[in-house]
Chains A and B, each alone.
Chain A
């Protein structure tokens, strides 16, 4: 019974039917949430005692940075599932996430640079946080180009999965870079153990913006994964029927 359930869930067909059903719900709720959070954060949250209004880019920078790491963790989990259970869907998901991950990592770097000009007085410095995030961005690009350089999809999937797992070492490094080394970037404001060092009036819209932004990016991943599935399973009858 359980075995049948996960075999079913691992089938691309069931996956497509499921995501088609939930896609509009996720899209509209997260769009409304993110727009609401942005209006709240940009217009109604108070300005910061040190940075004035320039801190407000946090409502874009933090969600993008958070997702650039979360998407990589999702890819690493998919890579482990693919290597252990040979679930093809997991391999499609890896390929689907990589360009979206590159996009959000790029957004995190650009918004960080824009934020750096009025606060740090520079748009780029090679401190540990900035550099490790740049490495993450380059890793996403590398995974995309390496996968497409293979002619044999099965080999490519296996090779990429191993690479994703190796690269996952970078995630704790990004996370802890501000604690392990002297950096220009400040330490984390929100941690699991301590009270957030952001005032609640700024923190609530930040949480909402992270939630809404995550939902929108999940929608992009869903669309991107459908492209991968139709691309790779295009000769199967259910795909022809579905499209």
Chain B
């Protein structure tokens, strides 16, 4: 490789390094703001204003779902802390006890008055019969 091409190769590396470094600092500065939801533990530590809408994500605690018509009360857990959620409306099909959920709404007295419920599914795909035999 001649001298000019070596110089150009160096320039290519420089472009990639500098832009990576720039983006790295931007992402570092934004850090937790890029999170899509809070975990219950984070909500309990952080002082969230009453009127701010937030998303809380985690697992639907087993045996915590109480359905009453279109109203539903359940607990979101990250296996350390739990937050109670009150919600009225349409619930996604994948909403199940023990599986992932994200609730969006306002915090009142340590309960979340949710306006939207999203189901979060995991990365496992398998036929129904295997799930029964393994679980």
Residues of A within 8 A of B (CB): 46-51, 55, 58, 80, 83-85, 118-122, 125-128, 162, 165-166, 168-169, 173, 180-184, 186-189, 197-199, 201-202
Would B125 and A122 count as touching, CB distance under 8 A?
A: no
Would A202 and B118 count as touching, CB distance under 8 A?
A: no
Residues of B within 8 A of A (CB): 5, 8-9, 11-12, 15-16, 19-20, 23, 27, 34-39, 57, 90-96, 99, 102, 116-131
CA distance A127 to B90 in the complex (A): 21
Q: Which of A46, A122, A165, A197 contacts B128 (CB 8 A)?
A: A46
Nearest-Cβ distance from residue B2 to partner chain A, whole angstroms:
11
Would A184 and B125 count as touching, CB distance under 8 A?
A: no
Q: Would A184 and B94 be within 8 Å (CB), given that A48-B125, A199-B130 are in contact?
A: no
Name the prevailing secondary structure of the A interface residues.
Answer: loop
Would B19 and A127 count as touching, CB distance under 8 A?
A: no
Q: Would A120 and B125 be within 8 Å (CB), given that A49-B131, A128-B36, A186-B120 are in contact?
A: no
Would B127 and A47 count as touching, CB distance under 8 A?
A: yes
Q: Which residues of A contact B127 (CB under 8 A)?
A: 46-49, 199, 201-202
CA distance A188 to B3 in the complex (A): 43
Would A125 and B36 count as touching, CB distance under 8 A?
A: yes
Q: Which of A49, A84, A120 contacts B118 (CB 8 A)?
A: A120
Q: Which residues of B contact A125 (CB under 8 A)?
A: 36, 118
A190 (CB) vs chain B CBs: closest residue: B123
Q: Which residues of B contact A162 (CB under 8 A)?
A: 15
Q: Which residues of A contact B120 (CB under 8 A)?
A: 120, 184, 186
Q: Which residues of A contact B102 (CB under 8 A)?
A: 184
